[in-house]
């Protein structure tokens, strides 16, 4: 409990219902409805307390003198020029507004897809500089849009929870109502789930499209950083900083939508469960209808097999008949049976092929030696790059082929150096569309230079 003030002043921040809570709500409503003035008197307060006592059938309520000290901390203030008049603080109005928005959330009737599209949309070619990207989707600037989506999902969860409760109430009244009325009520409530499921699907499509467009913007800043590394070395640091900022914005929005996906997954589970309830109800109605059909058949058979006499109703045709269900026992036997004992498994010791073993060990040793040579040449090339600040790939491969007599080693070294330049931001690779052929080798490559 790090925030001790939160615990010690809880009753002051949120007073209980009959210790001033209902009084603040009633004052807020009466001021809003213009039943009392914004600056009210103790007489109006006492009248509201009396109304609360009557409304909730209480024997008594705490008088104004006993609760005013707590309310004067955050909820009420005295008028500076007329101390016998009071007014509600902004904090009190905000608390009541929060309660009202929770119960009457404006996003209940607003499509989630529309909220996502209004808040998160990028047009083609709209963003070219990092400053505009930050103003539109930066962590601080996007807080309002995030809150709209969060409030929308919260309203959706509340609405589905209420609909879920209605469905459970309908299922509990199953024995009291006819199947037709039950299906009608169930369909009315279930329509909400169908509409919300379609809205969520469209919203997810809009969200995925937005994240794709956002990633394209980040890639734009990355390509600009690469181009500056080749042609405008003075602007490399600025381009790198822009790309890092764009990457942070994308990561923040992607994490936000990941949390949205988790909430949507829970909502989808509620909708799917409601669909299962509807299926169960349909199956139950089908079973009940089949049972009623059988009862009608039995009733018709009874009427056809009975007659009324002076002694009462008598059944003809020995109705009802009772017999024991009988079915002959069938013994199934195989046509053929193997009476021989199973043969035991035999372990055969295979002799060691020394020639094969020697050849394989030679291959492994040769490959290990080859990898060591490749690593040595890679280290040597990196040293050249550190000292001379540039390295020509064709010259390096010619040197390796002349000394090692193995083109594959030269190829592996060139591949590793290319990967090394891609992984390090301070190493750049320049490829010129000019074909160079290696001496005494049937291979050609672009003129490539690595710089640092």
Predicted pLDDT of residue 2: 57
Q: 432 with 360, same domain?
A: yes
How confident is the model over 261-307, as pLDDT tens digits?
Answer: 888 888 778 777 777 777 776 677 677 777 778 888 878 877 877 77
Residue 315 is assigned to a structural domain of this protein: no
Q: 418 with 388, same domain?
A: yes
Q: What is the pTM of this model?
A: 0.45
Residue 336 is assigned to a structural domain of this protein: no
Highest mean pLDDT (candidates 39-48, 136-145, 197-206, 423-432): 39-48
**Which range is least confidently modeled, 79-93, 248-262, 270-284, 357-371?**
270-284
CATH of the domain at 61: 1.10.10
Residue 145 is assigned to a structural domain of this protein: yes
Q: 114 with 255, same domain?
A: yes
Residue 326 is assigned to a structural domain of this protein: no
One-character DSSP codes across 237-298: HHHHHHHHHHHHHHHHHHHHHHHHHHHHHHHHHHHHHHHHHHHHHHHHHHHHHHHHHHHHHH
Q: 247 with 179, same domain?
A: yes
Residue 342 is assigned to a structural domain of this protein: no
Predicted pLDDT of residue 182: 67
User: In this predicted model, which residue has the larger pLDDT, 380 or 332?
Assistant: 380
Which of 60, 81, 103 lies at the terminal end of a domain, its last residue? 103
**Which range is least confidently modeled, 177-186, 351-360, 361-370?**
177-186
Predicted pLDDT of residue 335: 65
Which of 297, 318, 341 lies at the terminal end of a domain, its last residue? 297
H/E stretch holding 299: helix 236-304
In angstroms, the CA 380 to CA 422 distance is: 19
Q: 134 with 216, same domain?
A: yes
Residue 333 is assigned to a structural domain of this protein: no
What phi and psi values does residue 435 have, to the nearest 5 degrees? -80, 130
H/E stretch holding 86: strand 85-88
Using DSSP's 3-state secondary structure scheme, residue 215 falls into helix
Which of 83, 103, 123 lies at the terminal end of a domain, its last residue? 103
Predicted pLDDT of residue 210: 81
Predicted pLDDT of residue 192: 66
Please choose, from the candidates 434, 426, 415, 416, the residue with its C-alpha nearest in 3D space to the C-alpha of residue 451. 426
Q: 266 with 136, same domain?
A: yes
Q: 161 with 286, same domain?
A: yes
Residue 325 clears pLDDT 60, i.e. is over it: no
Q: 82 with 151, same domain?
A: no
Q: 276 with 140, same domain?
A: yes
Predicted pLDDT of residue 324: 55
Q: 139 with 245, same domain?
A: yes
Predicted pLDDT of residue 194: 66
In angstroms, the CA 51 to CA 72 distance is: 22
In angstroms, the CA 236 to CA 83 distance is: 67
Average pLDDT over residues 119-139: 79
- Structurally, the chain folds into a number of domains equal to 3
**Which range is least confidently modeled, 74-83, 116-125, 331-340, 413-422?**
331-340
How confident is the model over 194-230, as pLDDT tens digits?
Answer: 666 677 777 777 778 888 888 888 888 888 888 777 7
Predicted pLDDT of residue 139: 77
Residue 346 is assigned to a structural domain of this protein: no
In angstroms, the CA 121 to CA 132 distance is: 14
Average pLDDT over residues 77-84: 84
The answer to whether the beta carbons of residues 451 and 392 sit under 8 Å apart is: no
Residues composing the chain: 452
CA angle 391, 392, 394 (to 5 degrees): 145
Q: 44 with 134, same domain?
A: no
Using a 10 angstrom Cβ sphere, with 0-12 exposed, 13-18 middle and 19 or more buried, the burial of residue 305 is middle
User: In this predicted model, which residue has the larger pLDDT, 110 or 346?
Assistant: 346
The pLDDT-based confidence of 79 (bands split at 50, 70, 90) is confident
Q: 89 with 116, same domain?
A: no
Predicted pLDDT of residue 448: 79
Residue 160 is assigned to a structural domain of this protein: yes
Domain that holds residue 436: 354-451
């Amino acid at each position: 409990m790090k925030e001790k003030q939160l615990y010690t002043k809880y009753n002051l921040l949120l007073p209980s219902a009959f210790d001033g809570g209902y009084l603040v709500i009633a004052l807020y409503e009466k001021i809003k409805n213009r039943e009392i003035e914004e600056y009210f008197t103790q007489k109006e307060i006492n009248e509201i307390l009396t109304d609360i006592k009557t409304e909730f059938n209480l024997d008594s309520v705490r008088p104004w003198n006993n609760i005013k000290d707590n309310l004067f901390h955050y909820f009420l203030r005295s008028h500076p020029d007329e101390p016998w008049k009071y007014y509600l603080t902004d904090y009190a109005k905000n608390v009541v507004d929060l309660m009202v928005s929770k119960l009457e959330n404006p996003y209940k009737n607003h499509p989630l897809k529309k909220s996502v599209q209004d808040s998160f949309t990028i047009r083609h070619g709209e963003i070219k500089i990092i400053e505009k990207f930050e103003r539109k989707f930066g962590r601080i600037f996007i807080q309002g849009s995030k809150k709209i989506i969060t409030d929308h999902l919260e309203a959706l969860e509340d609405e589905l929870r209420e609909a879920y409760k209605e469905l459970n109430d309908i299922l509990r009244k199953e024995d009291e109502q006819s199947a037709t009325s039950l299906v009608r009520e169930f369909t009315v409530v279930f329509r909400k789930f169908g509409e919300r499921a379609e809205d969520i699907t469209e919203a997810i499509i809009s969200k995925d499209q937005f994240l794709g467009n956002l990633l394209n913007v980040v890639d734009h800043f990355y390509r600009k950083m690469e181009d500056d590394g080749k042609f405008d070395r003075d602007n490399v640091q600025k381009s790198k900083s822009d790309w890092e900022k764009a990457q942070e914005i994308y990561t923040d929005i992607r994490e936000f939508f990941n949390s949205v996906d988790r909430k949507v997954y829970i909502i989808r589970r509620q909708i799917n469960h409601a669909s299962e309830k509807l299926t169960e109800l349909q199956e139950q109605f089908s079973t009940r209808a089949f049972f009623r059909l059988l009862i009608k058949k039995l009733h018709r058979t009874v009427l056809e097999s009975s007659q009324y006499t002076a002694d009462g109703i008598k059944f003809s045709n020995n109705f009802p008949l009772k017999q024991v269900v009988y079915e002959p026992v069938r013994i199934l036997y195989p046509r053929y049976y193997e009476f021989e004992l199973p043969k035991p498994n035999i372990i055969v010791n295979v002799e060691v092929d020394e020639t094969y073993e020697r050849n394989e060990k030679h291959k492994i040793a040769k490959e290990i030696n080859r990898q060591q040579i490749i690593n040595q040449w890679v280290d040597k090339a990196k040293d050249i790059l550190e000292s001379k600040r540039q390295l020509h790939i064709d010259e390096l491969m010619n040197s390796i082929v002349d000394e090692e007599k193995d083109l594959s080693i030269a190829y592996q070294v060139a591949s590793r150096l290319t990967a090394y330049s891609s992984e390090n931001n301070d190493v750049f690779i320049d490829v010129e569309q000019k074909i160079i052929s290696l001496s005494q080798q049937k291979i050609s490559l672009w003129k490539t230079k690595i710089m640092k």
